[in-house]
Structure 1
Amino acid sequence: MEYTIKFCPCNFEEELYDAKEKLQQIPNVEIIEEKCLLYCGQCLVQPFALVNGKNIVSDSVNDLLADILQHLEGTQINCSKTKLQVNCEECGSCNFHKEQVLR
């Protein structure tokens, strides 16, 4: 699965440069700078990114990078249908998605 990570260019632009560079090295990750992401209050005080539409926010740039990486890893599972580590597409071949909802 492809991941789209959107950043607002007004949100910690200089501080997030290295994090964006690291994320661009990951296969299937597309970095987009989009103004505005409609998180203006948050944008002024905390670094954040939208990962496939999910708002990932942290107290520091280093924490944001770690949280994004953790989110990317957390969306990967060992699929019982394909026997590969893939993003869950809720095919119904296993109970992974149901277990995630119940947690």
Structure 2
Amino acid sequence: MLLQLPIRAGAEHMGKIDDIFKEPETLECVKRVNMISEDNWKKYTDDSFVPLQGHLLKYPLSVDHTGKVIPLSGFNSFPDVGVRVVYSISFASFTERNLGFLRDFEVTKF
């Protein structure tokens, strides 16, 4: 049953059943997933309606040669809702806002 999970996930997210999803750790599987997600992104951003294969999309980010995360060229925001792809947030404000509750816990070393 558990061995079928990657195949079912592939069928659900990629819109197809393929034996390649039996071994998600392989480079061949990773390349196939990337290819499907990039193809779906192209269809999603096309001016005409083109049905997607499944519902997995490439997130429109790229990493430049310095390691900086930037939006894909031409996509500062998502085309259908206009929400920005990349937001700027400082690590300090993120941790305080999202992990501030940890102040109430005592840290114990083992």
Q: TM-score, normalised by structure 1?
A: 0.29
Structure with a larger share of its residues in strand: 1
Q: TM-score, normalised by structure 2?
A: 0.28
Structure with a larger share of its residues in helix: 2
**Bigger relative contact order (CA 8 A; separation at least 6):** 1
Q: Which has the larger radius of gyration?
A: 2
